[in-house]
Amino acid sequence: MEYQEAYDKLNKYGQLHVLKYYQELDQEEQKILLQQIEQTDFDVLSLCQKKETLNPRGEIDPIGVMQLPEIAAKREEYTQIGLDAIRAGKVGAVLLAGGMGTRLGSDAPKGVYNIGLTRDVFIFQRLIENLLDVVHQAGAWIPLYVMTSDKNHETTTAFFKEKKYFGYNADYVTFFMQDMAPACDYEGKVYMEARNKISTSPNGNGGWFLSMMKWGIVDQIHKAGVEWLNVFAVDNVLQRIADPCFVGATIATDSAVGAKVVKKTAPDEKVGAMCLEDGKPSIVEYYDMTEELMAAKDENGEPAYNFGVILNYLFREKDLEEIVAKKLPLHIVEKKIPYLDEKGELVKPESPNGYKFEQLVLDMIHELDSCLPYEVVRNKEFAPIKNKTGVDSVDSARELCKENGIVL
Ligand code: UTP
């Protein structure tokens, strides 16, 4: 893109400040900035003004959940179905590791965080160890696809290499990068993170399948015969991945997606709750839980929206291809965004100072016709690390690891 075109594009969106330092840049820097202006979707910025009305909710109803007693009764049968699928190479795992982990407050990718106390125990290592349990049980490697972003790709791939993939077979590990979106202040003006660079953030975890397509991984998956993809977050250090019983239950119930859920600790706990929305499976975010929904009871007198998702889903791959063309809702999230101040110096704010734009994997559920919410034992499978201390933190995850006999 030439300067004039870039100028016109920015002018149209009220973003001319992006060119503030243009004349001071060398030719190469100018080229990089013009290229970024060309590639950036500034349309999303106008959404800040209608933030509150952006994603209206439909009619919410309770959804049936496969609970622990039912799973226990069928454990053997489901496990066998799951193991057969894994041995046939039909199951892949997708690690969502493109997030910035700003709440944890480390500049490094979250997965390289060391939660060990007497030895090194990196978050990535915990996840690989869990996956290796299943590899050993099934006697077959499970392809692992790792999503990174522009902000952490090099560090993540170098770390896996340095740590020799924590004993995983490197031939079965593929990295791919997600897309980025601009980040802006509360008025919708993009921040600059360098004199020739607009501030960007990873565009949420909802674009993972599209990114896999872009990177040619979906073609590889077809060739390899992978039919199911277990998508999981980087930060839950206890989760079971490609869990044979979960895989078997999802296949046996002919569900388009399985969603691992845990019993909520309180009606207002900050997790998304499984539900039906306009008759289709969905997740109601904690901030959308009304008093009425929190008070609703099922026929046994239990809270009707009692099960929270833990970002561990098993998607049927062919169904994803059908829904991928549909645009997922965009979420506007308040975050801490590093920016250049008036003097052109980089500031790393202590508190949120603007918005990021994200699509979320949970919105894919609503596009599908069937979903199996599958309960897991909370203290055995849910130890998320979002914060340094307090709720969902390094401290709470360490306690849970110890409770489960993991030496740290
Ligand atoms: P979170 O919602 O915890 O976001 O991600 P985050 O960006 O990592 O952390 P904070 O909010 O800044 O503290 C849940 C999962 O989705 C992945 C994360 O890596 C994590 O596994 N994710 C999130 C992506 O892969 N890409 C994104 O753009 C956002």
Residue nearest to atom 15 of ligand 1 (CA): 233
Domain assignment present for residue 336? The answer is: yes
For ligand 1, mutation pick of 235, 283, 287 (most atoms within 8 Å of CB): 235
Q: 110 alpha carbon to ligand 1 midpoint, in Å?
A: 9
Number of domains in the chain: 1
Residue 377 lies in a domain: yes
Distance CA 131, CA 111 (A): 15
What is the domain-level CATH number for residue 137? Answer: 3.90.550.10
* DSSP strand pairing (180-182 vs 173-177): unpaired
In a domain, 47, yes or no: yes
Query: DSSP string spanning 21-48?
Result: TGGGS-HHHHHHHHHHHHH--GGGGGGG
In a domain, 200, yes or no: yes
Is 334 domain-assigned?
yes
Scanning 119-199, the segments in alpha helix (DSSP H) are 123-138, 153-162
For ligand 1, the distance from its centroid to the CA atom of residue 100, given in whole angstroms, is 6
CA of 46 to the centre of ligand 1 (A): 23
Q: Is residue 82 part of a domain?
A: yes
Ligand 1: which residues within 6 Å by Cβ?
96-103, 147, 178, 202-205, 233-235, 311, 358, 386
Residue at 19 is within a domain? no
Closest protein CA for atom 20 of ligand 1:
233
d(CA 308, CA 234): 18
298 DSSP assignment: -
* Domain housing 51: 40-403
Ligand 1 centroid, distance to 401 Cα (angstroms): 21
Q: Compute how many other C-beta atoms are within 10 angstroms of the C-beta atom of residue 382.
A: 24
Q: Does 35 reside within a domain?
A: no
Question: Burial letters for 90-119: b for 16+ Cβ neighbours within 10 Å, e otherwise?
Answer: bbbbbbbbbbbbbbbeeeebbbbbebeeee
pLDDT tens over the chain, length 408 residues: 999 999 999 999 999 999 999 999 999 999 999 999 999 999 999 898 888 788 888 999 999 999 999 999 999 999 999 999 999 999 999 999 999 998 898 889 999 999 999 999 999 999 999 999 999 999 999 999 999 999 999 999 999 999 999 999 999 999 999 999 999 999 999 999 999 999 999 999 999 999 999 999 999 999 999 999 999 999 999 999 999 999 999 999 999 999 999 999 999 999 999 999 999 999 999 888 999 999 999 999 999 999 999 999 999 999 999 898 888 999 999 989 999 999 999 999 999 999 999 999 999 999 999 999 999 999 999 999 999 999 999 999 999 999 999 999
